[in-house]
C-alpha cells in the first residue's frame, strides 16, 4: 500500500514477508471546498506466513501408547492436522495438539501414517509441518528345531530367520551347557558341556524384533548328555584251561556297551558289544599273559568314560631244583628258599615228621633243628609244588638225612689265673664213631662264640696276658657214620691283674721333728702278701731298711733329715703267676720353721691413697694365719681388728705418720710363728691446681696462653688440658705441658680445664676450674672475580663483613662491597684485586681474587643455501674454535640450534639467518654473521597447444605451442612424450616476446593424439614441466565441392 493518496483506497494485496505481524496506521482527512475536516484513523494488521517448530517422526509398536504430541511455534495461535492412515488408531483430522493414543497394526507389515500440521496466527495459515508415525506389527519368526548333543560336542551356529525381523534376542534357562544366559542375534557355535551325571536340558526362548518391536517368541531345547561312568569291573587272574565266568557290565545311565580286548591269545575275541560270555582261558607259553579289556558305556549314542580291567592268564611253571641235606641231631637246618623264574608261592609235603619238620606247609621252609635221638640215620623226602598267582606248576623233590649226635666236655669248668699265669684245658669226647676233629672257640659273654684260629687239638693252652674273663668250649666232629657234631659245655677262665701296691702318702712336706707314718695299700694279686721298705736320698739308689717288713713305716724328721728323702714299698703275692708288685715311692720333704717379712719398709702417700703392705712367708708348712699390728711410735703395738690377711691396707683418710708390722703362724708340725720388721707410712694432703686466666675475649688467630699453678701433692706432676665439647670435657691430644697455646683458628665460646696428676701414691689427679675463652670471628670472606669477556661488566663480589676496602690494577680503589667496572679492558683491568674486610667484632681479614679479561672471538664464516620452491635449506658456518649458535635475528632473537650446520624449517620465501661464535670461555663474537636461505620461484607460464590444420581429411604439420604469462629471462625446451627428456629436447632457449615457440609440429594420426612435455625454466634456474596434447581434428571426407559447381553429364 502506498504511503499516501487521495480519495478512496483501491483494493490491494496485503504483504508481510517478515516473521511477525505488521501494523499500518491510516489517517484519513476529509475536505470541504479545500478545507480539512477532522481526521479519522484506523489500522490494518497483516499477519506473516508463520512457520511452526519441526515435529520428529516416530516409530512405535502395535499396542504401544503414543504420548501426546504438542505443537509449538513462536507466533502460532492454533493448529489443524490431517492423518493419512487412520488404521494406526488416530483420527483422520483434528485441531490443536494430538492427544495420547494407542497405536495399532494387526497386519504383518509396518504401516505409515503421514500427519500434516498447519499452524495459524489470528486465522492466517502458516507453512505446514509434516511428520510420520510408523506402527510395526507383531511379527512371527521361523521355528527352530530342538537338538540333543554330547558333552564336549560342538553345537553348530543357530541362525534365526523371519520375513520381517531386523534383530533377535534370546535367553537360555541353563548356562551349565556352555551357552550364555542371554544374547542378541544368532547363536554362535559353542562347545556343549555337561560335567554332571545325568542329561541336562536348556530351554532357549528367542524373541524377534522389527525396528525394536518384539514379536512372538520361539522356544526350542538343547539336551546335553553327560560323560557317563559305568560301574567298575574287577580285574581277574586265572590259570591255563580255567573257565572264565560271564562278565556283565552295569551302570546307572548306560543303555549300551562296546569293548575291545588287547590280547586274543587268552581265548577272547578282539572286540564285541554287550556283556562278555563265559570262555576258557588259555596260556601255552612260559610267562603270564595279560589282556586289557576297555569297555565304553553309551547313553543316547554318547560315549561315556571308559572302564578298563585286565585278565591275567598264568602258565604251568617249573621251579629251580633244591639240594639234599645231611645233618647231625640237634643241628640247625638252614632255611630252604625255593626259587623259580615266575613262582610267587609254594606248597610242600614231608614224608617223615620225626626229623622235626611238619608234614606239609606253604612258602619257604624256615630253619629248624633236626632231630634224631636214635642210633641210625633217618631220611625225609620233601615234595615242593611251585605256584604262580595260585596256579600250580611242576613239582620238585629233595631229601633231608639226620645223623645221631656224639658227646663232648672240658676237664675244667672255672679257673682263676694271674696275668703271667698259664692254664691248659683238655677236651673229653664220648660216643665217638670214627676219628674226631676238634675246634676250640672263645666268647667274651658266653653267648657269642668265635673259632680260635689254629686251635684244632684236644688241648688248649692259655696265658693270662690280658686282664679279662673269657669262656671257652670245644666243637668236636666225628667222620664216621653216626653222631658227627657236638659242642662241649663252656669253661670260664678269669685273668686277674698282677699285684700292685701304693703308699698312703705319695708326697708331703712336714716341719722338723713332726710325726709321720706311711702305710702300704695293696690291690689285686692272690695268696699271702709280704712287704719290704727301702730308703733313698736321690730316688735312684735304694737301701733296704732292716726290720721294715710291716705294711707301715715311721718316717724320721729330725734336723739331720731336713731336705727331701724317698721311701719305697715292694709287696709280693704267692698266688699263681702273680709274683712281686712294682715299687711305690713316697717323697718326704722336711722343712725349717716359719719366717715372715714385709715389702714396704717406708712409704709417703696422699690422703685417700690406696696402700697395700704385703707380707711374704717362707719355710714352714700347713695353714698360715696372720695378725697385723699398728703403733704411733714403733714401741707400743696394738692388734688391728680384722687385719688377718697376708696383705694390709692402712687408713689414709687423714694426714699423719704410723708404723705397722705382721705376726705369721703356720699350722704344720713344729713350725710355730714369726714377727716381721716395721713398715712406716706417711700420709700428706692431696694435689690442687688453678689456671692463670678465667675469662677473656680475642679475635680469631690471636695468640693466647693459659698456665697451670699446682699446690700440694707429692712426686712428679703431669698435666692434661681438656676442652668442653658441648656435652662434656674431653682430652686435647698432645696438650700435656703446664701451659696451653689456646687454638683461636675458629670463633666461638670455648671452656678449658687442666687436669694435674701427681705420681705420689694415692695423690691421683685434680681438675682446675674452667677458663672461659670467647673467640670472635674474623670476617669470612666470600670473594668472586674470575674471567670476563671484553666489553662486558666486571662484577667484583664479596661478603662477610661490615666495611670493605678494595685495591687493584691501574690504581683501582673502592669502598663498595660489590664494585662494578663497566667495560672490561684487558690492557688495564687484568690482574689481582685485594680486599680488606672488617666485621662487627672489629676483627679484620684479607683476601684476593684474580680478574682475567678474555678476548672476543671473530664471527664465523657462513655459507648459504637455495632451493626452487618451498624447502628446508641447510646453512653452514666455519672458522670458529668454540660453539656456533644460530639465530633468526641479528641482535636478539632465540637460539635456534648450536652446530656448524643448521637445517631450516620448510620455507616458502627467502629469509636471512644469523650465526655467532661462542668461545670455549663462553665469550660471544662482537656481531653475528648474516646468511641468506634463498627460496627461488617456479615459473607460472601457461602452455597452450594449437592443433594442426587440415586439407580435407589430410592433416598438415603446422601444429603450434603458445606460451602466456611468462617473465623476462625465462627459457623453454620441449620433446615428444609425457616426460621431459633433455637429450630429445635439446638446450633451452629464451621465450620469444610473442610467446609462440613453434608452428611446425607434426600432425598426429587420426585418433592418436600426440603428447608433448614442455619445460619452462625461470631466470633463477627453476624448471617446471607441463604436458600438452596435439590432436588430428580432420574430417573423414575428401575435399568438399563448393557451390556453385557445374556438373556435366557425359554420354
Q: Mind listing the pLDDT tens digit for each residue in 543-597?
A: 999 999 998 998 888 888 888 999 999 988 877 667 788 888 989 888 888 888 9
Instruction: Tell me the three cell numbers of residue 59.
Output: 516409530
* Residue count (the chain): 1051
Return the minimum-mean-pLDDT range out of 87-96, 225-234, 482-491: 482-491
pLDDT in tens, 594-638: 888 988 888 888 888 889 999 999 888 888 899 999 999 999 999
Nearest partner of 178 among 200, 209, 205, judged by Cα? 200
CATH number for the domain formed by residue range(s) 595-684 = 2.60.40.10
Instruction: Please give the Cα distance from 723 to 735 (Å, whole number).
Output: 11
Per-residue pLDDT band at 483 (split at 50, 70, 90): low
State what percent of residues in the chain have pLDDT above 70: 97
- Could you give the CA distance from residue 63 to residue 78 in angstroms, rounded to a whole number? 30
Domain 147-225 coded CATH 2.60.40:
yes
Contacts of 506 (CB under 8 A, 6+ apart): 584, 585, 586, 587
Q: Return the CATH number of the domain spanning residue range 861-936.
A: 2.60.40
Better-predicted residue by pLDDT, 173 or 747: 173
Residues 446-460 have pLDDT tens digits of 899 999 999 999 998
Task: Kindly report the CATH number that applies to the domain delimited by 688-774.
Answer: 2.60.40.10
Compute how many other C-beta atoms are within 10 angstroms of the C-beta atom of residue 544: 12
* Contact residues for 424 (Cβ-Cβ < 8 A; gap 6+): 459, 460, 461, 462
Name the CATH topology of 236-314: Immunoglobulin-like (2.60.40)
Strand partners, 912: 932
Report, as an integer, the average pLDDT of 257-283: 94
For 500-591, CATH gives 2.60.40.10
Can you give the pLDDT at residue 485? 65
58-136 has which CATH code?
Answer: 2.60.40
Confidence (pLDDT) at 54: 94
Q: Which fold has domain 325-403?
A: Immunoglobulin-like (2.60.40)
What is the share, in percent, of the chain residues with pLDDT greater than 90? Answer: 51
Measured from the Cβ of residue 173, the count of other Cβ atoms closer than 10 Å reads 14
Q: Tell me if the domain spanning 407-496 has CATH number 1.10.150.120.
A: no
Nearest to 684 by CA among 630, 614, 629, 758: 758
CB-based burial label for 409 (10 Å; 0-12, 13-18, 19+):
middle
Grid look-up 610267587 returns 344
**Res 1045: pLDDT:** 38
- How many angstroms separate the CA atoms of 814 and 823, rounded? 16
Tell which wins on pLDDT, 1007 or 653: 653
DSSP single-letter state for residue 176: G
CATH class (in words) of the domain with range 942-1030: mainly beta
Lowest mean pLDDT: which of 329-338, 414-423, 849-858, 878-887?
414-423
The C-alpha cell of 206 is what?
Answer: 528367542
User: Residue 600, Cα to own-chain centre: how many angstroms?
Assistant: 75
List the grid coordinates of 951. Answer: 586439407
| Residue 358 CA from chain centroid, whole number | 72
Q: What is the pTM of this model?
A: 0.34
Domain with CATH 2.60.40.10 in the chain: 407-496, 500-591, 595-684, 688-774, 782-854, 942-1030
Q: Which of 140, 5, 20, 14 is nearest to 73 (CA)?
A: 20
Average of per-residue pLDDT across 128-150: 94
- Over the stretch 63-86, which tens digit does the pLDDT of each residue have? 999 999 999 998 888 999 999 999
Domain spanning 782-854: CATH 2.60.40.10: yes
Amino acid at each position: 500500500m502506498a504511503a499516501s493518496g487521495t480519495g478512496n483506497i483501491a483494493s490491494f494485496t496485503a504483504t508481510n514477508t517478515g516473521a511477525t505481524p505488521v501494523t499500518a496506521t491510516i489517517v484519513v482527512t476529509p475536505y470541504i471546498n479545500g478545507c480539512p475536516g477532522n481526521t479519522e484513523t484506523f489500522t490494518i494488521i497483516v499477519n506473516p506466513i508463520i512457520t511452526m517448530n519441526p515435529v520428529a517422526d516416530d516409530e512405535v509398536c502395535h499396542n504401544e501408547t503414543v504420548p501426546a504430541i504438542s505443537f509449538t511455534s513462536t507466533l502460532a495461535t492454533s493448529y489443524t492436522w490431517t492423518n493419512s492412515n487412520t488404521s494406526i488408531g488416530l483420527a483422520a483430522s483434528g485441531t490443536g495438539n494430538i492427544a495420547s493414543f494407542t497405536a495399532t497394526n494387526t497386519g504383518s507389515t509396518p504401516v505409515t501414517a503421514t500427519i500434516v500440521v498447519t499452524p495459524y496466527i489470528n486465522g492466517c495459515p502458516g507453512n505446514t509441518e509434516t511428520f510420520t508415525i510408523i506402527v510395526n506389527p507383531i511379527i512371527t519368526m521361523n521355528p527352530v528345531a530342538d537338538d540333543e548333543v554330547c558333552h564336549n560336542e560342538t553345537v553348530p551356529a543357530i541362525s534365526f530367520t523371519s520375513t520381517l525381523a531386523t534383530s533377535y534376542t534370546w535367553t537360555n534357562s541353563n548356562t551349565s551347557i556352555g551357552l550364555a544366559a542371554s544374547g542378541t542375534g544368532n547363536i554362535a557355535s559353542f562347545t556343549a558341556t555337561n560335567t554332571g551325571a545325568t542329561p541336562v536340558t536348556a530351554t532357549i526362548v528367542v524373541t524377534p524384533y522389527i525396528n525394536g518391536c518384539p514379536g512372538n517368541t520361539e522356544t526350542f531345547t538343547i539336551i546335553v548328555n553327560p560323560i557317563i561312568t559305568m560301574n567298575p569291573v574287577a580285574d581277574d587272574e586265572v590259570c591255563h584251561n580255567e573257565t572264565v565266568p560271564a562278565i556283565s557290565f552295569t551302570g546307572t545311565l548306560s543303555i549300551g556297551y562296546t569293548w575291545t580286548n588287547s590280547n586274543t591269545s587268552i581265548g577272547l575275541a578282539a572286540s564285541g558289544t554287550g556283556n562278555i560270555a563265559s570262555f576258557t582261558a588259555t596260556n601255552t607259553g612260559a610267562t603270564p599273559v595279560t589282556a586289557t579289556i576297555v569297555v565304553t558305556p553309551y547313553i543316547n549314542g554318547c560315549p561315556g568314560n571308559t572302564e578298563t580291567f585286565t585278565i591275567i592268564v598264568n602258565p604251568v611253571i617249573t621251579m629251580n631244583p633244591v639240594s639234599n641235606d645231611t645233618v647231625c641231631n640237634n643241628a640247625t637246618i638252614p632255611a630252604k628258599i625255593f626259587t623259580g623264574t615266575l613262582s610267587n608261592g609254594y606248597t610242600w609235603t614231608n614224608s617223615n615228621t620225626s626229623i622235626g619238620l611238619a608234614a606239609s606247609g606253604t612258602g619257604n621252609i624256615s630253619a629248624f633243628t633236626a632231630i634224631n635221638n636214635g642210633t641210625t640215620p633217618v631220611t625225609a623226602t620233601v615234595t615242593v609244588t611251585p605256584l604262580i598267582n595260585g596256579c600250580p606248576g611242576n613239582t620238585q623233590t629233595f631229601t633231608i638225612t639226620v645223623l645221631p649226635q656224639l658227646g663232648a666236655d672240658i676237664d675244667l669248668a672255672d679257673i682263676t689265673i694271674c696275668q703271667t699265669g698259664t692254664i691248659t684245658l683238655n677236651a673229653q669226647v664220648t660216643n665217638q664213631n670214627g676219628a674226631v676233629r676238634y675246634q676250640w672257640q672263645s666268647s667274651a659273654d658266653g653267648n657269642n662264640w668265635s673259632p680260635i684260629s689254629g686251635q684244632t687239638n684236644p688241648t688248649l693252652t692259655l696265658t693270662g696276658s690280658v686282664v679279662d674273663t673269657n669262656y671257652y668250649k670245644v666243637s668236636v666232629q666225628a667222620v664216621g657214620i653216626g653222631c658227627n657234631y657236638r659242642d662241649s659245655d663252656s669253661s670260664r677262665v678269669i685273668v686277674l691283674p698282677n699285684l700292685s701296691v701304693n703308699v698312703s702318702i705319695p708326697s708331703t712336706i712336714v716341719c722338723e721333728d713332726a710325726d709321720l707314718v706311711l702305710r702300704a695299700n695293696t690291690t689285686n694279686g692272690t695268696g699271702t702278701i709280704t712287704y719290704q721298705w727301702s730308703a733313698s736320698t736321690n730316688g735312684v739308689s735304694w737301701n733296704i731298711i732292716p726290720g721294715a717288713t710291716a705294711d707301715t713305716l715311721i718316717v724320721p724328721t729330725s734336723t739331720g733329715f731336713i731336705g727331701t728323702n724317698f721311701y719305697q714299698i715292694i709287696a709280693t703275692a704267692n698266688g699263681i703267676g702273680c709274683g712281686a708288685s712294682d715299687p711305690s715311692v713316697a717323697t718326704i720333704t722336711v722343712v725349717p720353721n716359719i719366717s715372715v717379712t714385709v715389702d714396704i719398709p717406708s712409704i709417703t702417700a696422699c690422703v685417700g691413697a690406696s696402700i697395700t703392705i704385703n707380707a711374704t712367708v717362707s719355710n714352714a708348712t700347713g695353714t698360715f694365719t696372720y695378725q697385723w699390728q699398728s703403733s704411733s711410735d714403733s714401741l707400743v703395738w696394738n692388734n688391728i681388728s680384722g687385719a688377718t690377711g697376708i696383705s694390709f691396707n692402712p687408713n689414709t683418710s687423714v694426714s699423719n705418720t704410723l708404723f705397722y708390722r705382721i705376726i705369721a703362724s703356720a699350722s704344720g708340725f713344729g713350725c710355730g710363728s714369726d714377727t716381721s720388721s716395721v713398715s712406716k707410712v706417711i700420709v700428706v694432703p692431696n694435689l690442687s691446681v688453678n689456671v692463670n686466666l678465667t675469662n677473656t675475649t680475642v679475635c680469631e688467630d690471636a695468640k693466647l696462653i693459659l698456665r697451670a699453678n699446682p699446690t700440694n701433692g707429692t712426686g712428679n706432676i703431669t698435666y692434661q688440658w681438656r676442652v668442653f665439647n658441648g656435652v662434656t670435657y674431653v682430652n686435647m691430644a698432645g696438650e700435656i705441658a703446664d701451659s696451653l697455646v689456646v687454638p683461636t683458628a675458629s670463633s666461638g665460646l670455648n671452656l678449658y680445664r687442666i687436669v694435674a696428676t701427681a705420681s705420689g701414691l694415692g695423690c691421683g689427679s685434680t681438675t682446675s676450674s674452667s677458663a672461659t675463652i670467647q673467640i670472635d670471628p674474623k670476617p669470612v670472606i666470600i670473594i668472586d672475580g674470575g674471567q670476563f669477556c671484553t666489553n662486558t661488566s666486571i662484577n667484583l663480589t664479596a661478603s662477610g663483613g661490615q666495611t670493605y676496602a678494595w685495591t687493584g690494577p691501574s690504581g683501582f680503589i673502592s669502598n663498595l662491597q660489590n664494585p662494578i667496572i663497566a667495560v672490561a679492558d684487558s690492557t688495564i683491568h687484568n690482574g689481582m684485586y685485594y680486599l680488606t674486610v672488617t666485621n662487627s667484632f672489629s676483627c679484620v681479614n684479607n683476601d684476593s681474587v684474580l680478574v682475567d679479561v678474555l678476548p672476543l672471538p671473530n664471527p664465523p664464516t657462513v655459507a648459504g643455501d637455495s632451493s626452487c620452491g618451498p624447502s628446508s635449506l641447510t646453512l653452514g658456518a666455519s672458522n670458529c674454535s668454540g660453539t656456533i649458535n644460530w639465530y633468526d635475528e641479528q641482535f636478539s632473537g632465540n637460539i635456534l640450534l648450536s652446530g656448524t650446520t643448521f637445517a631450516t624449517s620448510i620455507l616458502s620465501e627467502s629469509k636471512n639467518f644469523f650465526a655467532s661464535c661462542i668461545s670455549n670461555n663462553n665469550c660471544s663474537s662482537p656481531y653475528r654473521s648474516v646468511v641468506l636461505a634463498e627460496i627461488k620461484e617456479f615459473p607460472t607460464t601457461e602452455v597452450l597447444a594449437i592443433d594442426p590444420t587440415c586439407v580435407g581429411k589430410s592433416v598438415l604439420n603446422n601444429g603450434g605451442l603458445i606460451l602466456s604469462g611468462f617473465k623476462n629471462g625465462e627459457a623453454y625446451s620441449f620433446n615428444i612424450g609425457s616426460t621431459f627428456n633433455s637429450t630429445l629436447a635439446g638446450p633451452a632457449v629464451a621465450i620469444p616476446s610473442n610467446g609462440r615457440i613453434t608452428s611446425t609440429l607434426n600432425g598426429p594420426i587420426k585418433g592418436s593424439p600426440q603428447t608433448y612435455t614442455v619445460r619452462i625454466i625461470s631466470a633463477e634456474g627453476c624448471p617446471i614441466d607441463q604436458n600438452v596434447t596435439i590432436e588430428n581434428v580432420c574430417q573423414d571426407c575428401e575435399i568438399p565441392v563448393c557451390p556453385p559447381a557445374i556438373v556435366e553429364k557425359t554420354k
